[in-house]
């Protein structure tokens, strides 16, 4: 596919490798800020519960289902806006909104106000992923999308580790050295206010960035509307839904562990906030980042050589590894295996999310990249944030009825999610390869170094062997 792409109405300047990767860096920073604002609260659970008088289920609702519904509910609007308006300006406005909402959470006085603040953060952040995916798939060829998307996801993983690690360190430091400039706010409140500040800086940068070009339509043109998108889904249900829900259930397993890991470490294993924050930060911020980047470049390498389903096969292998390790760790309340399980889930399963997202875009209509990103975000968020976090809280409160059974609740959620994820990827495999063959036969974008006909033949052979 042509490296130099033009788009009527878009500002030129993204034809070189340097400008494309510069945009990936900026989008990754935007994504990192959104992840910090979303996850720094995870290490503050005991202090928030004590101050506001909320239960595990209420926290799961606030951070899980409530946030997830706002994040995903607005995604339908986001998907349309991303495909129609300036994405850099849209990101700037959204980032200003969620940064203000994040700061508001630091002054919330009750559960209702905190819930409203988290819902607002979810609405604002719903733009980040669809806009980033739309921009990246517009400035890179389809067979080289996994690496930049994996960098985007990898920086998000780094930010997740940073949020947990710095959240714990900041909480400990502000407990002993509160900032007078914040008017005597409790330490956990000061952490939330401080974490919102970087977003305001990036808003200014985004306002001066030129709008990147959009990907030209493929020869297999399926229109550009929500009606056309759902028609595409109904014509390719196994491939599209298999990838979407496979990714969603895998994310559910990894986020169920991540969302409650700081609380589990402090409550059940008796670790300090700083200890668990630093350990998780090292695993996620270093290990998960490195594996995410590695997987992205490896998957691109394999895809360019005709192994189009490599991302899904890699994810299934990592799911098979993570399940027994997580069961052992959380059922035995073993500190060593606890960190090993988190490493398997975050450095393995979560690190494959980016390449699987790239595979979803590979088979989706190019002119609907915003809608594809929005639907991916919606499905993943409902199961990861809504399902993973809330189910663990409800199991702890209403099924096992003991705060000290948190590990059992996490293990149960993972035991449900991992086999479902594996099954979805199996369901999608052959249908995915058939869809790739169709696009390769009608569009040079998937051909890479080979002719479209040769690529289609290679994919057809792979599908028969499936």
Mean pLDDT, residues 257-281 = 85
Indicate if the pLDDT at residue 386 is higher than 80.
Answer: no
Indicate if the pLDDT at residue 6 is higher than 80.
Answer: no
Indicate if the pLDDT at residue 382 is higher than 70.
Answer: yes
How far is 445 from 413, CA to CA, in rounded Å?
40
Report the pLDDT value the prediction gives residue 130, as an integer from 0 to 100.
Answer: 87
Indicate if the pLDDT at residue 10 is higher than 50.
Answer: no
pLDDT tens digits along 138-154: 888 877 888 888 888 87
Report the pLDDT value the prediction gives residue 25, as an integer from 0 to 100.
Answer: 92
How far is 105 from 373, CA to CA, in rounded Å?
27
Report the pLDDT value the prediction gives residue 215, as an integer from 0 to 100.
Answer: 63
DSSP secondary structure of 270-316: ---HHHHHHHHHHIIIIIIHHHHHHHHHHHHHHHTTT-TTHHHHHHH
Walk me through the domains of the chain, giving residue ranges and CATH numbers. 18-207+223-465 (1.20.1250.20)
Q: Which two tokens stand for residue 351?
A: 């690190």
As a whole-number percent, the residues of the chain with pLDDT over 90 amount to 36
pLDDT tens digits along 90-114: 999 999 999 999 999 999 999 999 9
The answer to whether the beta carbons of residues 292 and 354 sit under 8 Å apart is: yes
- Mean pLDDT, the chain, whole residue set: 83
Report the pLDDT value the prediction gives residue 417, as an integer from 0 to 100.
Answer: 94
Report the pLDDT value the prediction gives residue 463, as an integer from 0 to 100.
Answer: 46
Mean pLDDT, residues 423-439 = 92
Residues contacting 405, CB < 8 A, separation 6+: 396
pLDDT tens digits along 37-79: 988 888 888 889 889 988 888 887 787 767 777 877 787 788 7
Nearest in space to 373 (alpha carbons), one of 278, 183, 244, 273: 244
Report the pLDDT value the prediction gives residue 217, as an integer from 0 to 100.
Answer: 52
Q: Higher confidence at residue 222 or residue 157?
A: 157
Mean pLDDT, residues 282-298 = 84
Report the pLDDT value the prediction gives residue 42, as an integer from 0 to 100.
Answer: 82
pLDDT tens digits along 354-378: 889 889 988 988 777 778 887 887 8
Report the pLDDT value the prediction gives residue 454, as an integer from 0 to 100.
Answer: 47
Report the pLDDT value the prediction gives residue 315, as an integer from 0 to 100.
Answer: 94
Report the pLDDT value the prediction gives residue 223, as an integer from 0 to 100.
Answer: 56
Window from 222-236, 327-341, 428-442 with minimum mean pLDDT: 222-236
Report the pLDDT value the prediction gives residue 166, as an integer from 0 to 100.
Answer: 81
Mean pLDDT, residues 211-217 = 70
Nearest in space to 16 (alpha carbons), one of 180, 213, 250: 213
How far is 360 from 280, CA to CA, in rounded Å?
30
């Amino acid at each position: 596919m042509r490296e130099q792409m033009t788009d009527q109405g878009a500002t030129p300047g993204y034809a070189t490798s340097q400008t494309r990767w510069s945009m990936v860096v900026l989008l990754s920073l935007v994504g990192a800020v959104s992840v910090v604002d979303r996850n720094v609260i995870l290490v503050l659970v005991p202090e928030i519960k004590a101050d506001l008088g909320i239960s595990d289920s209420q926290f799961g609702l606030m951070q899980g289902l409530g946030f997830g519904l706002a994040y995903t509910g607005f995604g339908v609007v986001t998907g349309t806006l991303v495909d129609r308006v300036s994405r850099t300006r849209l990101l700037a406005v959204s980032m200003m909104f969620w940064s203000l909402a994040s700061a508001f959470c630091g002054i919330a006085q009750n559960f209702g106000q905190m819930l409203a603040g988290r819902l607002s953060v979810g609405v604002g952040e719903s733009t980040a992923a669809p806009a980033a995916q739309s921009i990246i798939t517009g400035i890179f060829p389809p067979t080289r999308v996994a690496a930049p998307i994996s960098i985007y996801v990898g920086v998000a993983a780094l930010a997740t580790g940073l949020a947990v690690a710095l959240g714990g360190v900041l909480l400990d430091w502000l407990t002993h050295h509160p900032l007078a400039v914040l008017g005597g706010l409790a330490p956990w409140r000061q952490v939330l206010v401080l974490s919102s500040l970087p977003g305001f800086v990036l808003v200014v940068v985004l306002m001066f960035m030129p709008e990147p070009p959009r990907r030209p339509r493929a020869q297999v043109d399926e229109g550009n509307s929500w009606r056309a998108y759902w028609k595409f889904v109904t014509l390719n249900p196994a491939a599209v839904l298999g990838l979407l829900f496979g990714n969603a259930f895998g994310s559910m397993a990894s986020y169920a562990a991540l969302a409650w890991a700081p609380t589990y470490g402090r409550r059940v294993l008796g670790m300090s906030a700083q200890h668990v924050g630093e350990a998780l930060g090292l695993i996620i911020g270093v290990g998960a980042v490195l594996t995410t980047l590695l997987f992205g470049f490896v998957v691109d390498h394999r895809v360019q050589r005709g192994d189009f389903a490599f991302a899904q096969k890699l994810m299934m292998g990592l799911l098979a590894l993570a399940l027994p390790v997580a069961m052992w760790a959380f059922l035995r309340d073993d500190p060593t295996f606890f960190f090993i399980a988190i490493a398997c889930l975050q450095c393995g399963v979560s690190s494959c999310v980016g390449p699987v997202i790239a595979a979803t875009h590979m088979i989706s209509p190019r002119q609907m990249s915003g809608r594809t990103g929005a639907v991916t975000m919606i499905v993943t968020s409902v199961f990861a944030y809504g399902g993973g976090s809330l189910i663990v809280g409800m199991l702890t409160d209403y099924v096992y009825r003991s705060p000290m059974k948190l590990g059992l609740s996490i293990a149960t959620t993972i035991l449900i999610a991992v086999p479902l994820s594996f099954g979805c990827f199996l369901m999608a495999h052959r249908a995915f390869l058939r869809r790739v063959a169709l696009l390769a036969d009608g569009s040079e974008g998937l051909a890479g170094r080979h002719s479209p006909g040769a690529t289609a033949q290679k994919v057809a052979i792979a599908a028969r062997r499936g």
